[in-house]
Structure 1
Amino acid sequence: MGSATPVTTAITAVPAATTAPSTDTWKKVRLETNKGTIVIALDPDMPVTAGNFEKLVSQGYYDGIIFHRVIDGFMIQGGDPTGTGRGGPGYRIADEFTTHNRNNRGTVAMANAGPGTGGSQFFINLVNNNGLDTKHPVFGTVVEGMDVVDAIGKVSTGAGARPLQNVTITRATIL
């Protein structure tokens, strides 16, 4: 019988990540609004949802669209071309969730009316809304302009949490 050569393997312990992933290398989108500028980093682990948002931005879809729903202490919502909360791009995308899906303050998530109904509407969390983690896919993070998001969150609203004066995305661009 031949002799077997023992195989040795070095095992190196790698500490678990304790912070959110770095957004330095993520694609970014600039939302110019009549209240100021917001820059969003798109999560590369969300190719369907972030890719859909990026596609709509590149087509000029969000230019001129309002934030139609604003709830102080909760979120600001936009992306509906009708401004009613019922409009969209004419198609729906599949829900996409990762193990790090957290609706934390400053994250951007896909709004929907139930499973598999996302399209163009999105919201930016003003606070940690982790009760939404299993319902709304997070596809981005605000990296500049959270003060603008907070200011939008403080505008006066009327019925249906609609701002009394339009808060408009004047231009959305990919950086």
Structure 2
Amino acid sequence: MFGRSKGPDFPPINVEGEGQLRARLRTSEGDVIVRLFEEKAPRTVANFVGLAQGAIEWEDPNNGETTTRPLYEKTIFHRVIPSFMIQGGDPLGQGTGGPGYRFSDEFHATLRHHKPGVLSMANSGPNSNGSQFFITEVATPWLDNKHSVFGEVIENMDVVKAIARVPTNPVNNRPQNDVVLEKITIYRGENPPD
């Protein structure tokens, strides 16, 4: 799932405009708008933005090829648990894939899993971040200082709730019908580009 460790060499965030850095997650269930905390979680946000925009080289676990294709396009939410969270960002769609590298945790005293809609990195233990992320549906304080918070939902939390309630396989919490993350658009300001 992982591989090499990645140093502090994520590309700079290159998004035109002014204002808050945001991402529109276009899913098969509707759009979710998140604010990204670039000041408080700069490396984690740079990784997410770089993978979303195709600005970071990563190793596709499906074929072993190195690519700069936007990683998140056409991936699925492979794990959804009502009254907990929805998880995606795995190029394999199974919960075991990633970009072929891992990077260290990034915690900030004011970034907590204290409410619904927190965007955070999924991991398999300390300093094992890659591409997988989750969005909380409720407060999950037991995840503080274990998972790096890097954003929050600011519009369409109802879509997160809908995804969390799709029928799933009770063994692995995978949706019975794929919930697809079609594309992530990174932008600044109030309105996402079309």
Q: Identical aligned pairs, as a percentage? A: 47
Q: Distance in 1 between matches of 2:174 and 2:111?
A: 27
Larger radius of gyration: 1
CA RMSD, aligned part only?
A: 1.1
Q: Return the TM-score normalized by structure 2.
A: 0.76
* Mapped pair 1:124 → 2:135: yes
Offset of 1:25 from its aligned partner? 3.5
Q: Return the TM-score normalized by structure 1.
A: 0.84
SS of the equivalent of 1:161 reads coil
* Mapped pair 1:109 → 2:116: no
Offset of 1:101 from its aligned partner? 2.3
Offset of 1:144 from its aligned partner? 1.1
Who is 1:171 aligned against?
183
Offset of 1:173 from its aligned partner? 1.1
Q: Distance in 2 between matches of 1:145 and 1:168?
A: 16
Q: 1:69 aligns with which of 71, 74, 79?
A: 79
Q: 2:157 aligns with which of 146, 151, 156?
A: 146
Who is 1:11 aligned against?
none
Q: 1:92 aligns with which of 86, 102, 121?
A: 102
Who is 1:48 aligned against?
43
Q: 2:53 aligns with which of 58, 61, 64?
A: 58
CA offsets 1:14-49 (integer angstroms, 9 cap, x no match)? xxxxxxxxxx94201111011000111100210011
Q: Distance in 1 between matches of 2:19 and 2:105?
A: 24
SS of the equivalent of 2:26 reads strand
CA offsets 1:44-94 (integer angstroms, 9 cap, x no match)? 210011110011111121010000000001000000000110000011011
Who is 1:34 aligned against?
28
After the TM superposition, which segments of 4 or more aligned residues of structure 1 sit over 4 Å from their partners? none
The letter for the 2-side match of 1:115 is P
